[in-house]
Amino acid sequence: MAKGEIVLGCLAPHPPHVVYAENPEQNEAFAEGGWETLRWGYNRLARKLKSIDYDAMVIFTPHWQTYIGTHFLGLPKFKSKSVDPVFPNLFRFNYDISVDVELAEKMCEVAGESGIVTKMMRNPDFRIDYGTITSCHMLNPEWDKPLVTISSNRNAHYYSPEVMNEQASALGIACAKAIEESGKKVVLISSHSLSHRHFVTESPLPEDMSREHIYNHSQYVWDMKLVDLMRGGKMKEVIDIMPEFTEQTIAETEAGGLTWMMAAMGYPEYPAEIYGYQSVIGTGNLIAAWDPIEATREIVL
Amino acid sequence: MSDPEILFGIYCPPHPQPLLSPEASEGYGKLRDAFETCRKRIEESEADLILVYSTTWPSIIGHQIQGHPEPEWVHVDDDFHYLGSMPYKFKMDTEFAEKFRESAESRGLQSRTVAYDGFPIDTGSIVALKLLNPDNRIPACIVSSNMYANRAETIVLGKSARDAIAAQGKKAVVVVVSSLSNRMFTEHIDPAEDRIHSAKDDEWNKKILEFFGDGRLEDLSQLSREIHGQIRVQKVVAYKPAWWMSATMGQNNNYRGEVLAYEALHGSGGAVVVLTPSKGSVGDKEFDEDDVEHYHGDRGVLNTGAL
């Protein structure tokens, strides 16, 4: 069997606003649009994914929060409705997803062997989180690839962002080994914003773009610092400053997603493809991708 | 406006073990028994409203209040999914929910009711309502815990609840769903060997329960920041339940306190406490923080005083 490989890594933020603004038939709410910079960036990345041969998407989500180890979806099908607890007015999405259980079990097994506390989730009533659904829908609206969803163990809450960085790195290395042993071609998805301070009020029309801006300039400056490092192919440096960035901007990187993905990809030294940056209810959201194949790597923005 | 009629308050833990696996350990069983005692107290009371403040329902856009008349779903906990599913169908007091929202807004808070089929009611609220009000005999209301709210906002939210109870002439039981210390073990454990995560957490929990036992709710409210620093995992900005509970129940120490159970829940501190209004007050804390009546929002210090 040929070795499995990671064919693309995607930073894919999951504000439910982008799905709301797209008006897919699965979502009950209706929007007049909004957040085009992000949505058009997502649309372009989705087109790139169509040109790539892969077997499964593996997504690390901040909205399946676990404190007792890292958990993996462990049933082949989940069909239900996901309602965002924070923005239920925007996101009530009827989903029908397939899971690559074999790959999930392999990741769980290899992570366990490397000393990480793990658990397979096999309760059929379990509801898929809106982070998983938003990122995956925007990257693959046809939903024609199986997923593996990995929960985010909240080490940053229990210990510190430094411990989060170490443990998420260990998980990333274990997942990369599992992918290699599986023989599959996999797209990794780190589902989160960068800076993550929200406004606590919402405009009467949520998609009124005249009201949308970053929470404060400090958040913006930090976000741009990271974008510059990503453009420069300095992902080890990004991960090294991750604890500081996370604390300064209340960043959603606290869940460990970007650290996990970069560790799995060996801390790329090539430029990230930048697809778009925009604020959503004050938070900073970047769509980016890391393409290991130089011939297909693009300068997008 | 006359004072609201709050019959008693209950402080109880959010974890699903007392609901789903009370037989797994002696401690879980004791917590279940304590919930059962509270259920009977509610049934024997003249309550016509159960008002729940849940720390496991975080919100961002202000304060959300459950406004669906009969929310129904099958819930599964993120961590404890292997213990089983939690089917529920609750009866909500939607008129009270609207009044609560109106009262909150009149005190300067951002607030909204949520009434969507399939809205994910949180584990803590489900555990509390299924154990305290299993037959939906009494309509309920659930309010979220805003993740950015600090003391002023939380106190004003409590006063808003008080306004709404008084305005509608309700006889309410106030339920706060929260752990004491909330550090769980980060590994899977044998429930029979469950214990409080550390001696420090245990000592602080017992100190808090001493206050509860003496009916010193406002004193606990005043200690909230210290409690947060000492025994709360820093998930949110502050330990808010005592602020909300005291503000809702009248900001005093005039209660008969009963600690019905105190046990470990995967390492965290789970207690079931009943506070019944009584005469006489004890307490030795100086209340030196402002007693806020109206929420004016952030002060915008970043935009003022700049050179």
CB contact under 8 A, A119 and B82: yes
CB contact under 8 A, A151 and B60: no
What pLDDT was estimated at residue B235? 78
**Sheet (strand B111-114) strand order:** B111-114, B63-66, B140-146, B49-59, B171-177, B5-12, B268-277, B255-265
From residue B83, alpha-carbon distances to A152, B79, B86, B126, B205 in Å are: 20, 9, 9, 15, 26
In the predicted model, what is the mean pLDDT of residues B158-185? 97
| CA–CA dist A111, A117 (Å, integer) | 8
Strand partners, B274: B10, B258
Chosen from B81, B146, B198, B301 to mutate, greatest number of chain A CBs within 10 A: B81
What pLDDT was estimated at residue B60? 93
CA B276 to chain centre: 16
Q: Please give the structure tokens belonging to residue A53.
A: 């041969």
What range does the domain containing B140 cover?
A: 5-299
Q: Which residue has the higher pLDDT, A156 or B28?
A: B28
- Flag whether residue B81 sits within 8 Å of chain A, measured between CB atoms: yes
From residue B16, alpha-carbon distances to A68, B77, B149 in Å are: 14, 8, 26
3-state helix, strand, coil in chain A (%, to 5): 40, 25, 35
What pLDDT was estimated at residue A132? 98
- Flag whether residue B229 sits within 8 Å of chain A, measured between CB atoms: no
Residue A236, pLDDT > 70, answer yes
What pLDDT was estimated at residue B283? 72
- Flag whether residue A85 sits within 8 Å of chain B, measured between CB atoms: yes
| CA–CA dist A85, A131 (Å, integer) | 12
CB contact under 8 A, A201 and B57: no
In the predicted model, what is the mean pLDDT of residues A94-114? 98
What pLDDT was estimated at residue A205? 97
What pLDDT was estimated at residue B307? 52
Residue A116, pLDDT > 60, answer yes
What pLDDT was estimated at residue B236? 80
| CA–CA dist B106, A193 (Å, integer) | 34
Q: Is residue A165 part of a domain?
A: yes
What pLDDT was estimated at residue B253? 93
Residue A256's closest CA among A62, A14, A9? A62
Tokens 């804390």: give the residue. B285
What pLDDT was estimated at residue B306? 55
ipTM of the complex: 0.96
Beta-strand relationship, A283-290 and A273-280: antiparallel
B111-162 pLDDT, tens digit per residue, is 999 999 999 999 999 999 999 999 999 999 999 999 999 999 999 999 999 9
In the predicted model, what is the mean pLDDT of residues B242-257? 96
Q: Is residue B220 part of a domain?
A: yes
Q: Is residue B221 part of a domain?
A: yes
Return the amino acid letter for B205: N
Residue B266, pLDDT > 70, answer yes
Q: Is residue A250 part of a domain?
A: yes
A189-215 pLDDT, tens digit per residue, is 999 999 999 999 999 999 999 999 999
Confidence of residue B279 (pLDDT cuts 50, 70, 90): confident
Q: Is residue B280 part of a domain?
A: yes
In the predicted model, what is the mean pLDDT of residues B75-97? 98
Q: Which residue has the higher pLDDT, B300 or B25?
A: B25
Q: Is residue B305 part of a domain?
A: no
Nearby residues of A53 by Cβ (< 8 Å), 6 or more positions away:
A7, A185
Confidence of residue B280 (pLDDT cuts 50, 70, 90): confident
Q: Is residue A9 part of a domain?
A: yes
- Flag whether residue B287 sits within 8 Å of chain A, measured between CB atoms: no
Nearest to A201 among B57, B62, B78 (CB): B62
What range does the domain containing A135 cover?
A: 5-296
| CA–CA dist B150, B142 (Å, integer) | 19
Residue B289, pLDDT > 90, answer no
| CATH number for position A219 | 3.40.830.10
Q: Is residue A301 part of a domain?
A: no
Residue B235's closest CA among B58, B85, B92? B58
- Flag whether residue A115 sits within 8 Å of chain B, measured between CB atoms: no
CB contact under 8 A, B58 and A85: yes
**Nearest CA to CA, how far is A288 from chain B (Å)?**
26
| CATH number for position B125 | 3.40.830.10
Tokens 């379990």: give the residue. A126
- Flag whether residue A17 sits within 8 Å of chain B, measured between CB atoms: no
- Flag whether residue A213 sits within 8 Å of chain B, measured between CB atoms: no
What pLDDT was estimated at residue B1? 66
Indicate the Cα dihedral angle A288, A254, A146, B188, nearest 10°: 160
CB B35 within 8 A of CB B269: no
Per the structure, the count of domains in chain A is 1
CB contact under 8 A, A158 and B146: no
Residue B290, pLDDT > 90, answer no
A74-96 pLDDT, tens digit per residue, is 999 999 999 999 999 999 999 99
Chosen from A133, A200, A246 to mutate, greatest number of chain B CBs within 10 A: A200
- Give the A window 38-67 contacts with B, CB below 8 Å: 64-67
Q: Is residue A34 part of a domain?
A: yes
Percent of chain B with pLDDT over 90: 89
Residues of A within 8 A of B61 (CB-CB) are: 86-87, 200-202
From residue A140, alpha-carbon distances to A103, A186, B27 in Å are: 19, 14, 47
Confidence of residue A37 (pLDDT cuts 50, 70, 90): very high
- Flag whether residue A157 sits within 8 Å of chain B, measured between CB atoms: yes
Burial A155-192 (b: 16+ CB within 10 A, else e): bbbbeebeebbbbbbbbbbbbbbbbbebebbbbbbbbb
Residue B82, pLDDT > 80, answer yes
**Nearest CA to CA, how far is A198 from chain B (Å)?**
7
In the predicted model, what is the mean pLDDT of residues A27-42? 98
Q: Which residue has the higher pLDDT, A154 or B164?
A: B164
